Structure 1
Amino acid sequence: MSVAEAGERIAAAARTLVGARFRLHGRDPALGLDCVGVAVAALRDGGVDVAVRDDYPLRTARWRAGDVPDGLVRCSGDRPGDVLLLRVAATQVHVAVRTVGGIVHADAGLRRVVERPGVPEWPIVAAWRVSEHG
């Protein structure tokens, strides 16, 4: 499977999560997801196995944007299925999955997973996609 095909599968998997409830540190769509949970579920449902720790620092400046999850590579974040790390505040980052028409992410304010059309309203700090070899 090509990188583009893998990305399309991941984006499609992310779109199936729209409507799932928000839950901090949530990893099960039936129980709720946070932003990292959305990315993990989309990657797994798209055929990429990832391991993510639960003590990730989304509310601090300690996030190391240079870190690359296993099986993924750094990218520009412009293709469906890319995982985006977004700067939503001076000391807060957020994770979303790029789709053809926008992004899928867990919206804590709306208490559910949503698809937001268009370009992300927040700056992209880092982005990753499936590796050709992953």
Structure 2
Amino acid sequence: MMQAALPGDQLAEAAAAMIGRPFRLYGRNPETGLDCVGLVAASLKAIGRNPSIPRGYTLRSTSIAKWQACFERSGFDPVDGEFRSGDLLVTRPGAIQHHLMIAQTPDTVIHAHAGLRRVVRQPLAHDIIRVAHWRLAKPI
């Protein structure tokens, strides 16, 4: 009997299907463009989940409290330890900026890259500032 894919594996697979899609700030549609929040939302929708998206977020912020509530409503639990396929990573690329990435492996992430103007797969930089780490729970 074949074992069903774990929710995280499904999420990573859905995110990988978005690689090459255009970047668009506040974008929510894979056809017209995604930002990091849009990538997470589109990937969740692709696996049949109902994402909760933060409203009114800005490019610069000092708190991720609004995001945390949305992660919980979307079925994520905070975790520690090594990254697994489908884990959601909150990073801080700048002093007052946060960014979301989806782990494909413990060392590889998929994210909407503003500089490259598309969704990409990249090695996880070892010097990246990690703010939070979330894992998709099994469906209820």
TM-score range, shorter chain: 0.7 to 0.9
C-alpha displacement of 1:42? 1.3
Deviates more, 1:5-14 or 1:77-86: 77-86
Q: Which runs of 5+ in 2 are unaligned?
A: none
The number of aligned residues is: 133
Give the TM-score normalised by structure 1: 0.86
For 1:30 and 1:18, the matched residues in 2 are separated by 12
Residue-by-residue CA offset, 1:93-127 (whole Å, 9 max, x unaligned):
10010002500001111111100024565221012
**Judging changes above 3 Å, is the alpha-carbon distance between structure 1 residues 133 and 29 closer, same or farther for their aligned structure 2 residues?**
closer
TM-score normalised to the size of structure 2?
A: 0.83
Mark the structure with the bigger radius of gyration. 2
8 Å CA contact retained: 1:58, 1:94: no
Q: Which residue of 2 aligns with 1:106?
A: 112
Distance 1:48 1:127 in 2: 19
Q: Please provide the CA RMSD for this pair.
A: 2.4
Percent identical? 35
State the Cα distance separating 1:48 from its structure 2 match: 2.2
By how many angstroms is 1:54 displaced?
Answer: 3.4
Q: Give the C-alpha shift of residue 72 in structure 1.
A: 1.3
Residue 129 of structure 1: aligned partner: 135
The corresponding residue for 2:93 is 88
Q: Distance in 1 between matches of 2:94 and 2:18?
A: 25
